[in-house]
Structure 1
Amino acid sequence: MARSTEADEAADAYERHLAIHERDRRRAQGSFYTPAELVEWVLDHALPERGRVLDPACGTGHFLVAAARRLGVRAVHGSDLDPDAVRIARERLHALDPTVPPAEIADRVRVADGLVAWEDGSFDAVVGNPPFLGQLRRHSAGQSEAHRRGLGAYTDTSAVFLRRALDLVVPGGTVALVQPISVLAARDAGPVRAAVAERGAVTDFWCSDRPVFDGTTVLTCVPVVRAGATPPTDPDAWGTLAAPGFGIPGVVLPAGTGALGDLATCTADFREQYYGLAPFVHDHLPGGTPLVTTGLIDPAESRWGSAPTRFARRQYDAPAVDLAALRADGAFARWAEARLVPKVLVAGQGRVIEAVVDEAGAWLPSVPVVSVVPHDRGDLWRLLAVLLAPPVVAHAAARYLGTGLAPGSVKVSARQLAALPLPADVDAWGEGAELAQRAQAAGASERAGLLVAAGRVMTAAYAGGDDVHAWWAARVRRTDDSGGTDRSAPA
């Protein structure tokens, strides 16, 4: 079969047209066309030696044409909502093999919603790059809504395609669809990961720590799912598949040692508290109660009063809550009393898990800061040591990769913090807690060294290796050198 040179050029021209003149429409549709090298990787790992192949969101046919060159035009099927893209895909396939009538190709490559166009189909492989859109910007309406049932409100459309593809592939077949990296750990993608574990397993994996699609900053991955394969022990830990590509060292945390939630209650606040506090927050308020935003928390350090921060779209040098006025108002008085206790405050996300002890119970947290309140006040510094422990941070960075706002940032929810395991070496844990306490009490010139020492001891407490400590120490130093960043926002 000859290469479809003119039709391929037409596809390239169409995509340049979208990129130059219709970028807003392209973003609205979630359509970003796939680099050739990624297409080939997907086909190398997913394509059968023979059989039927589907791209349910085929665009101008990059996957279809590449697959047809390997299996023949009659082996490929596709659909897309963009009629111009479908027309080009059909022309490319016909140019590739003119013996296949255009009407036959048109039956195989349809202008249709790929979520519902193949109800009676059965394929050996489902491949492609479906649109990246959240539920708030829907790919399509009508019948395709049935395929969103049981999914979270913000499940990306690409993940909906992934779950749907599991229904279309034969036993032993393969699904390989490009996904945003958030599919690895995002809460609303959980039902999709569970569906994969129920139907098969991820047998190959591709990811990039840099954007590969023109016009978007979204990081992407490709889980190659084999229907009927045996799933791993922990099917929800997809983030560990991508961890090596982001330089995150592998760790094995102890089992049977208990969890942080055994020692403390981890609580996150929400929009209600964020906006409800706003009328009572002032800058440099004499006698005010410090309001600590996530951007003011560094490892074993509160930067309140020494660094500016933002809250409710305003910048403050020293944000403080008028507690008397808040109590008089009544709406948030009980909430404030519950937070004004000895606790550990944990930033919403950072290069490591960033946490600081409020030993006097004198600070109020701002969303998305998590409050970790010990059942026994004597455990405050032990809790801080756990949160600073390099193996714990590496575990969280890998397991929840892709949920943060920035590549490589560590974002852990209150529930996830409570599930973090405790160390097996109790003596080393105690030593690490003492060093963490000293680090928080120290000045800037001494704190860095004490933090590194605490990290080394806590690495030993978890039986971790030197590579884990070195990775963590480098990230702590970069956090310290950057002076912190503000990540305050309502949940």
Structure 2
Amino acid sequence: MDERERAEELAAAYEARLAADRDGRRAKGAFYTPPELVSWVLDRAVPPGARRVLDPACGTGHFLVAAARIVGVAGVFGSDLDAEAVAIARQRLAAEDPSVPVAQIERQVRVADGLTAWTGETFDAVVGNPPFLGQLKRGTAAAGARAHGLGAYTDTSAVFLHRSLDLVADGGTVALVQPLSVLAARDAAKVRTAVAGRGRVGELWVSEGAEFAGAAVRTCVPVVRVGEPGGQTEWGRLAAPHFGIPEVEMPRGTGVLGDLAACTADFRDQYYGLVPHVRDGGDGAPLVTTGLLEPGACEWGMRPTRFARRSYAAPVVDVAGLRAADARLGAWADARLVPKVVVAGQGRVIEAAADEHGAWLPSVPVVSVVPHDPADVWRVLAVLLAPPVVADAAARYLGAGLVPGSVKVSARQIAALPLPADETAWREGAALARAALLEELAGVMSAAYGCADPAVARWWLDRARRT
């Protein structure tokens, strides 16, 4: 066995040991990268003539070894907080080219925090698979995010992406593995904005499933071309074709749903305040959970649902008891017991139903859309069921939902949904929404938005029927 084979065997044994220690691996956020993904990244990230390539969280050196075969061992640099992994990476590089002094490799590959180790240096490409550590799990990582001017809940991998923008000059490339949530997560917004200010995402790799053994998270790799114009912050649109989401062009200048209605999400206070006043069946206001909502329909009383860890056949709220026990919650209930449209937290499409008579109370995370004119309740529902609206939201906010490809929209995002340009078709769509004729509604509301492609309506109908 030669030196290269021994070094590769050592790396494989270390990673197998780490994989067996699930808690330790999760604490480090360390999931090693498949060779085919390393090749995909380097093929796109290392430009012709590149001389210096950095992996700021190099682990045992998968990216470094592959990059060394392109630019030479003297041209690769790396860092990691795991001293054992760094030692293995150094050994692998030394085996690749024994002519490079060991002392030089030790200077190039450091035991250090990649977020701070390379200040003042510039590289042609920054590549790698930085740790995924949600900030709720690790306070020190949250402090690191804040140190870079980012929100405390920004994932560590996105902090690495943000930091790497300062380590390449115009013409260079940054390509780091990220959780799919980076495409739309609110806490990654500053990172996307920073990328748009420095360059553009030229290509995007999206995993077909959970790419890394032992990790359930879906991943992506935005390939950032630093210095190129045309950057955008809506990265979900780049990933939409991977999920079969059709491209649509929305009308401009038609107004937004917030012009017609107030869109409100409730909070934990309301959720927990309701608990002692909910019972199964009898008099009271039906409690509508997100799982009871379908496109254009509410299945309250037709199937069981869960609330506060209990199963109910037909949950109702004792509103009189609620008012007597808590005047503030009573006022909240009165504000919700009005004609409205209720929207599920997420689904394969936007799942919304009209409460024409104001009889239902929403359960968190159901969003209430209360039209300024109660007569507009069906017009509001028609907008939320319109296939072009759903396709546009699915692309724009891709990655925000717990299930990849699902449509998750907040109250603020619902308020920003565009209104249709064709008023006549919109009125017809509202009548079809009231009659629950979804197939006809799909075609009419597509026309209301000027969408002539029947594939968009078919896409929506297929997803709506599978909710």
- Identify whether the pair has TM-score above 0.5, normalized to the shorter chain: yes
* Range 209-218 or range 386-395, more displaced: 209-218
Paired amino acid for 1:327: R
Q: Secondary structure at the match of 2:77?
A: strand
Match of 2:116 in 1: 116
Q: Partner of 1:167 in structure 2?
A: 166
* Structure-1 residue corresponding to 2:312: 316
Query: For 1:99-126, what per-residue CA distance to the aligned partner results, in whole angstroms no more than 9, with x for missing partners?
Result: 1111111111111111111122211111
What's the counterpart of residue 134 of structure 2? 134
Partner of 1:304: 300
Q: Does 2:22 correspond to 1:27? A: no
- Closer, same or farther: CA 145–466 of 1 in aligned 2, 3 Å: closer
Task: Determine the structure 2 residue equivalent to 1:381.
Answer: 378
**Could you tell me how far 1:138 is from its partner in structure 2?**
3.0
Q: Any conservation in 1 of the 2:248–2:391 contact (CA below 8 Å)?
A: yes
Q: Secondary structure at the match of 1:60?
A: coil
Query: 1:15, 1:192 → 2: CA distance?
Result: 30
Q: 1:226 is paired with a residue of what secondary structure?
A: strand
Check 1:182–1:142 CA distance in 2 against 1; reply closer, same or farther (3 A cut): closer
- Once the two structures are superposed, the pairs formed by residues 189-204 of structure 1 within 5 Å of their partners are 189-204=188-203
Deviation at 1:345, TM superposition (A): 0.3
Answer whether contact 1:133 1:139 (CA < 8 A) is retained. no
CA distance in 2, matches of 1:182, 1:228: 25
Structure 1 residue 172: deviation in Å?
1.9
Q: CA deviation at 1:193?
A: 0.5
- For the residue of structure 2 that corresponds to 1:202, the secondary structure is strand
The residue that corresponds to 1:276 in the other structure is: 273
Q: SS in structure 1 opposite 2:370?
A: strand
Task: Note the C-alpha offset of 1:142.
Answer: 10
- From 439, 445, 452, the counterpart of 1:452: 439
Residue 484 of structure 1: aligned partner: none
- Per the alignment, residue 470 of structure 1 pairs with 458
Q: Which residue of 2 aligns with 1:428?
A: 425
Normalised TM-score (structure 2)? 0.96
TM-score, length basis structure 1: 0.92
Find the counterpart in structure 1 of residue 17 from structure 2: 17
Which ranges in structure 2 are unaligned for 5 or more consecutive residues? none
Q: Distance in 2 between matches of 1:319 and 1:213?
A: 41
Residue identity over aligned pairs, in percent, reads: 67
How big is the shift at 1:23?
1.6
Listed as ranges, the matches of 1:232-381 within 5 Å are: 232=231, 235-284=232-281, 286-329=282-325, 330-381=327-378
The aligned counterpart of 1:446 is none
Contact 1:248 1:398 in 2 (8 A): yes
Deviations 1:62-106 (A, max 9, x none): 000000000000101001111111111000000000011111111
Q: Which amino acid aligns with 2:461?
A: A
Specify the code of the residue in structure 2 equivalent to 1:172.
G
Q: State the one-letter code of the partner of 1:129.
A: N
- Matched residue, 1:90: 90
Q: Which residue of 2 aligns with 1:81?
A: 81
Q: Deviations over 1:318-369 (max 9, x none)?
A: 1111111110122301111111110000000011100000011011000000
TM-fit CA distance, 1:146: 5.2
- Separation in structure 1 between the aligned mates of residue 181 and residue 207 of structure 2, nearest angstrom: 13
1: CA distance, partners of 2:136 / 2:342:
32
Please give the alpha-carbon distance, in whole angstroms, between the structure 1 residues aligned to 2:143 and 2:414. Answer: 39
Indicate conservation of the 8 Å contact 1:209/1:407, yes or no. no
Describe the SS at the equivalent of 1:28: helix
Q: State the aligned residue count.
A: 463
Matched, 1:409 2:397: no
Partner of 2:178: 179
Cα distance in 2, alignment partners of residues 128 and 39 from structure 1: 8
| Paired residue secondary structure (2:466) | helix
Q: CA deviation at 1:137?
A: 2.5
Distance between the aligned counterparts of 1:243 and 1:5, measured in 2? 41
Find the residue that maps to 2:328 and give its secondary structure. Answer: coil
Q: How far has the Cα of 1:293 moved from its partner?
A: 0.5
Task: Kindly provide the amino acid, as one letter, of the partner of residue 76 in structure 1.
Answer: V
Distance between the aligned counterparts of 1:58 and 1:387, measured in 2?
A: 45
TM superposition shift of 1:203: 1.3
Deviations 1:13-39 (A, max 9, x none): 21112112x122111211111111111
Cα deviation for residue 210 of structure 1 reads 1.3
Paired amino acid for 1:453 = E
SS in 2 for 1:4: helix
Letter in 2 for 1:114: G
Q: Secondary structure at the match of 2:151?
A: coil
CA RMSD of aligned residues (A): 1.5
Shift of 1:148: 4.0
Provide the C-alpha distance between the structure 2 equivalents of 1:214 and 1:174, rounded to a whole number of angstroms.
27
Letter paired with 1:177: L
Partner Cα separation in structure 1 for residue 208 and residue 253 of structure 2: 34
- Evaluate the alpha carbon distance shift between residue 192 and residue 336 of structure 1 in structure 2; reply closer, same or farther with a 3 A threshold: same
SS in 2 for 1:163: helix
Superposition misfits of 4+ residues, deviation over 4 angstroms: 139-143
1:131-180: CA deviations, max 9, x gaps? 1111122385698455343x223211100000000111122211100000
Structure 1 residue 211, shift from structure 2 partner: 1.4
Following TM superposition, by how much is the alpha carbon of 1:372 offset from its aligned partner in structure 2, in angstroms? 0.3
The 1:431/1:209 distance shift into structure 2, 3 A limit, reads farther
Work out the CA distance in 2 between the residues paired with 1:3 and 1:70: 20
Q: Cα distance 1:142–1:212, how it changes in 2: closer, same or farther (>3 A)?
A: closer
1:35 alignment partner AA: P
Cα distance in 2, alignment partners of residues 435 and 236 from structure 1: 36
Q: Give the Cα–Cα distance (whole angstroms) in 1 for the partners of residues 10 and 412 of structure 2.
A: 51
Deviation sequence 1:370-418 (CA, Å, 0-9, x none): 0000011121111111100111111111110111111211100001011
- AA paired with 1:296? L
SS at match of 2:365: coil
Decide whether the 8 Å contact of 2:146 with 2:152 is kept in 1: no
Q: Is the 8 A contact 2:142 2:153 kept in 1?
A: no
- What is the rounded CA distance, in whole Å, between the counterparts of 2:120 and 2:146 in structure 1? 16
- Give secondary structure in 2 for the equivalent of 1:223: strand
Show the counterpart of 1:447: none
Q: Secondary structure of 2:435's match?
A: helix
The one-letter code matched in structure 2 to 1:287 is D
Distance in 2 separating the partners of 1:259 and 1:78: 48
1:228 is matched with which residue? 227
